[in-house]
Chains A and B, each alone.
Chain A
Amino acid sequence: MASFWLTDIGQNRLKVVGAANYAMNENPERMFIYGVMIISLVYARRLLICACFKITIEANVFTLWYFSRSHSAMSESFDWMQVNLFCILILVDGAEWAFLKNPKIFVTVLLSFIYATPVELGFDPNVKEYTPTPPGPQYFIYTINDGEEGMAYFKTLRCLSEYRSLCISGRSTRVWKAIQIKSLDDHSPVNCAKEVVLKDIWLGQDAQTERELQTNLFTDIGAYIKRTLPGGCIPQLRESGSVYSELIQDLLGDEKWKKHFLTILFDGIGVPCKERPVSARPDPTLFDEPIDEPVAPRSQGADHSRAYSTSVLHEQTSSTSAAPAAPRTFAPKHRYFVVFQELCKAVEDLTSFSDTMNALKHAVKGHFSMSF
């Protein structure tokens, strides 16, 4: 009997994690999600998948979960006799007897979730879902607080690219075709609005943003050109031949190289994930059964390494190896939004050979500028 329950708990934990991953991948509004395991009697086993958070009732376990893009945490499971007695006795023997057992924590948890605001339950205040009336295609409104440009609002038109990770932690990149709108209340496009690309990504808090990367890159390239171009001799081009050398020197002059990079219109940093508590520790026995084989990502040609964290891939593909998985730092992440002027298309979606070659040509030129 005991082994049955232990096995079952591991399975139900996997269900909770799987459902949390599903909810996080499905809903761009999600920053994090909660799971709750509530104790009950032996016959009350239940997995309850919720729109807002999950409840699992199992035998003799009460556990809370927190899932985010930087890490996920589970409270220690412990003997919730007070809750158990509360649940049982309030129903069996009446409230007066039951409350002598102090149901304080149980009531605290329920109150906290019932009276929580959407933001407190993990819905990002910067991303709102709308269904127009009369019913039409659903869309999302992104609010981007760009320090210099102020607040900007974008309505999603179509999803250009998404990455449905097998892990909850990660960058979880989504790319939308979007258009700037007037406000949260007025969803009509601003004057002269053009379709743009909005990238929604989770970055480590120490990582440089795309604007910072591009600014630093442009500064370096500009400094190099200023230093070398007037002399007419770029060391890397000495053996390239005159035609190629002239072509590149033309590219580097008058900042023509900049056209091979996307133009960042807006960017903004969203709400950060919570950091890991000091006392939190990994528990390799959390799930009973090992996951045998990683499942390939859906998109053909996608980068498989990003479906897993490095250590998970290592753990799953080297189960016979004695080498332990590399320890994770659980670095906190924050959400980052960036809007590009140029309307992009995923290379995998290109249907014309000439378009593909053009994209490659521009990529090579941009890369060449960076390689100095």
Chain B
Amino acid sequence: MRSEMVVCPWNEFWQHYSPWAPSDAIVQEGISVLENADLDGNEWAKRVDPSAGPNENAGFKSLQDIAWKLQHMENMDRHASYTLVHRPNRVPLSTISSGNHMTDGCFYPSDGFPNGTTAPLELRRTASVHEYKTKSDPKRTHDASLSYLWHHFG
């Protein structure tokens, strides 16, 4: 894997790879939004006990607050497609192995954002091809190709 990675200076990386580059005016407006925002101060930092080991969950809340303020900016000619959502796990992700793909927050598509603070959040938008293959046809006894015929038989 390391041989397929390259490292790039920041400016060139952003010019080359960024999804899109907001204009200076838009960025300045974003800064103004945050300047006038009623954010949570440093309360999150007070809740962190450094002696308790990794605990990044507390720090994430502030990022969510900032992102939520930015996604409601006016005078944007774009739609805010994604919402930064915090759904913490009980176990900090920095303490688990890299093979575990647990999620405890994401940029979720705004259009499909579940209503309610306790609504389950399906972080993965799509089932895996692997699951699609095995779960839909575990013993290869059911062929999904016939499913389009089912509705004819009610």
**Which residues on A are within 8 Å of B, measured CB to CB?**
8, 11-12, 14-15, 17-19, 21-22, 25-29, 34, 38, 40-53, 55, 57, 64, 66, 71-76, 78, 87-88, 90-92, 94-96, 99, 103-104, 107-108, 110-118, 120-121, 129, 136-139, 155, 157-159, 162, 164, 166-169, 174, 177, 179, 187-189, 195, 274, 276-277, 279-284, 286-287, 291, 309, 311-312, 315, 325, 328, 330
Residues of chain B with a CB closer than 8 A to A110's CB = 30, 66-67, 70
Number of A-B contacts (CB under 8 A): 313
Q: How many residues of B contact A (CB 8 A)?
A: 89
Q: How far is the CA of A280 from the CA of B35 in the complex (A)?
A: 36
Determine if A53 and B107 form an interchain contact, defined as CB atoms under 8 angstroms apart. Answer: yes
Determine if B1 and A17 form an interchain contact, defined as CB atoms under 8 angstroms apart. Answer: yes
> B83 — nearest CB in chain A belongs to which residue?
A114
Determine if A107 and B107 form an interchain contact, defined as CB atoms under 8 angstroms apart. Answer: no
Contact with A along B128-154 (1 / 0, CB 8 A): 111011001100000111011000000
Q: How far is the CA of A46 from the CA of B66 in the complex (A)?
A: 17
Determine if A52 and B1 form an interchain contact, defined as CB atoms under 8 angstroms apart. Answer: no
Determine if A277 and B5 form an interchain contact, defined as CB atoms under 8 angstroms apart. Answer: no
B57 vs chain A, min Cβ distance (A): 7
| Known pairs A18-B101, A52-B108, A162-B133 / 8 extra A-B pairs, C-beta < 8 Å | A44-B60, A51-B123, A72-B5, A90-B34, A114-B70, A115-B78, A159-B129, A166-B1
Determine if B103 and A91 form an interchain contact, defined as CB atoms under 8 angstroms apart. Answer: no
Determine if A74 and B3 form an interchain contact, defined as CB atoms under 8 angstroms apart. Answer: no
Determine if A137 and B7 form an interchain contact, defined as CB atoms under 8 angstroms apart. Answer: no
- A interface SS class: mixed
> A176 — nearest CB in chain B belongs to which residue?
B129
Q: Which of B60, B80, B133 contacts A57 (CB 8 A)?
A: B60
Q: How far is the CA of A129 from the CA of B125 in the complex (A)?
A: 9
Determine if B79 and A115 form an interchain contact, defined as CB atoms under 8 angstroms apart. Answer: yes
Q: How far is the CA of A8 from the CA of B53 in the complex (A)?
A: 13
Determine if B81 and A115 form an interchain contact, defined as CB atoms under 8 angstroms apart. Answer: yes
> B62 — nearest CB in chain A belongs to which residue?
A91
Determine if B145 and A195 form an interchain contact, defined as CB atoms under 8 angstroms apart. Answer: yes
B116 vs chain A, min Cβ distance (A): 19
Q: Which of A88, A113, A276, A286 contacts B2 (CB 8 A)?
A: A286
Determine if B93 and A177 form an interchain contact, defined as CB atoms under 8 angstroms apart. Answer: no
> A155 — nearest CB in chain B belongs to which residue?
B148
Determine if A112 and B57 form an interchain contact, defined as CB atoms under 8 angstroms apart. Answer: no
Determine if A116 and B2 form an interchain contact, defined as CB atoms under 8 angstroms apart. Answer: no
Determine if A45 and B56 form an interchain contact, defined as CB atoms under 8 angstroms apart. Answer: yes
Determine if B133 and A107 form an interchain contact, defined as CB atoms under 8 angstroms apart. Answer: no
Residues of chain B with a CB closer than 8 A to A78's CB = 10
Counting CB contacts under 8 A, is B120 at the interface? no
Residues of chain A with a CB closer than 8 A to B92's CB = 45-46
Determine if A274 and B126 form an interchain contact, defined as CB atoms under 8 angstroms apart. Answer: no
- Beyond A46-B60, A51-B124, whether A15 also contacts B98 by CB under 8 A is yes
Residues of chain B with a CB closer than 8 A to A139's CB = 144
- Beyond A114-B81, A282-B3, whether A26 also contacts B124 by CB under 8 A is yes
Determine if B7 and A280 form an interchain contact, defined as CB atoms under 8 angstroms apart. Answer: yes
Residues of chain B with a CB closer than 8 A to A107's CB = 27, 30-31, 34, 70
Please provide the chain B residues from 64 to 108 with a CB less than 8 Å away from any CB of chain A in the complex.
66-67, 70-71, 73, 76, 78-84, 92-94, 98-99, 101-108
Determine if A283 and B56 form an interchain contact, defined as CB atoms under 8 angstroms apart. Answer: no
Determine if A286 and B26 form an interchain contact, defined as CB atoms under 8 angstroms apart. Answer: no
Determine if A113 and B136 form an interchain contact, defined as CB atoms under 8 angstroms apart. Answer: no
Determine if A168 and B1 form an interchain contact, defined as CB atoms under 8 angstroms apart. Answer: yes
Residues of chain A with a CB closer than 8 A to B83's CB = 114
Q: How far is the CA of A162 from the CA of B67 in the complex (A)?
A: 37
Q: How far is the CA of A114 from the CA of B76 in the complex (A)?
A: 12
> A28 — nearest CB in chain B belongs to which residue?
B129
Residues of chain B with a CB closer than 8 A to A155's CB = 148
Q: How far is the CA of A106 from the CA of B2 in the complex (A)?
A: 27
Determine if B107 and A174 form an interchain contact, defined as CB atoms under 8 angstroms apart. Answer: no
Determine if A118 and B81 form an interchain contact, defined as CB atoms under 8 angstroms apart. Answer: yes
Determine if B19 and A116 form an interchain contact, defined as CB atoms under 8 angstroms apart. Answer: yes
Residues of chain B with a CB closer than 8 A to A291's CB = 1
